[in-house]
Structure 1
Amino acid sequence: MVIGLHHVQITIPKGEEEKGKHFYCQVLGLKEIEKPDSLKGRGGFWLQVGNKEVHVGTEDGFDRLTTKAHIAYQVENIEQWKKALAEQHIEIFDSVPIPHFERFEFRDPFGNRVEMIQEI
């Protein structure tokens, strides 16, 4: 029986951890958490998002712009996020509407698709 969601993993190119930490920790304001010693040699970093984790691994040879795979962050003030990301020169894309939610998408600096979603 599946009882919940523990973490999701996205990837960035090998050697881009500092750029990734800047985007995810400084621009999005997520908190970095320490990886277990047994995994530190594999590259990447981990983030805390509420009571869940986002694991940012490293992977080369993959075109992130060709996939619909994405992560959706639930937010409280979606208009504030649109403005903050636009100020960082991040292109905002409208999402297909779904009932009871306002949402938009963008690509992180590595091409990963990201969604911001707010319940209305």
Structure 2
Amino acid sequence: MSTQPRPLISGLDHVLIEAPAGCEGEARAFFSGFLGLPELPKPAALAARGGVWFGLPDGRQLHIGVTPNFVPRDKGHLALRCPDLSAVTERASGCGITCTPDEELAPIRRVFLRDPWGNRLEILEDS
């Protein structure tokens, strides 16, 4: 009988989305204003780099990081969960944000949208 080695990784701490310099205002409007995520203070040692950090309800974090020569991500993307996808799409419509429904994973409901800099985001409804 073989025993599985103990995993070296215990979980996910945060994800980082790349954005152009000067992104902070748009990041706050989108991730806090639209999605309702609370902004988190960045450590002083990292604050000079720009960007913004947000908290997720499960304790993990979403970091918006400034990158030189920024190019929006189309394939690689962040996927967030929500309890009510209809509420998300209704709020998006009111904010002028386009959500594209996708039925490839039916019966799971999901939409794709773009952050202020053109990065692809996915939002899935909790099942």
Give TM-score, length-normalised by structure 1: 0.91
1:103 paired residue number? 110
* Structure with the largest fraction of strand: 1
How much has 1:92 moved relative to structure 2?
Answer: 1.3
Give the AA of the match of 1:6. Answer: D
Q: For 2:104 and 2:25, how far apart are their aligned partners in 1? A: 34
Q: Is the 8 A contact 2:110 2:124 kept in 1?
A: yes
Residue by residue, what CA displacement relative to the aligned partner does 1:22-41 show, whole Å, maximum 9, x if unpaired?
11111111100011111111
Q: Sequence identity of aligned pairs in percent? A: 29
Aligned to 1:21, the other structure's residue is in SS state: helix
Q: In structure 2, how many angstroms separate the alpha carbons of the residues matched to 1:13 and 1:3?
A: 31
Q: TM-score, normalised by structure 2?
A: 0.86
Greater Rg over alpha carbons, structure:
2
User: Which structure 1 residue ranges, 4+ long, deviate > 4 Å from structure 2?
Assistant: none
Q: Which has the higher helix share?
A: 1
Asked whether the equivalents of residues 78 and 103 of structure 1 are also in contact (C-alpha less than 8 Å), the reply is yes
Tell me, yes or no, if the aligned pair for 2:19 and 2:70 is still in contact at 8 Å: no
Structure 2 residue 26 is matched with structure 1 residue 28: no
Query: 1:119 deviation in Å?
Result: 2.7
User: What stretches of structure 2 of length at least 5 have no aligned partner?
Assistant: 1-7
Letter in 1 for 2:64: V
Aligned to 1:18: 25
CA distance in 1, matches of 2:107, 2:16: 27
1:18-58: CA deviations, max 9, x gaps? 12111111111110001111111110011000210001111
Query: Could you say what secondary structure the match of 1:23 adopts?
Result: helix
CA distance in 2: counterparts of 1:74 and 1:92, whole angstroms: 15
Tell me which amino acid in the other structure corresponds to 1:55. Answer: H
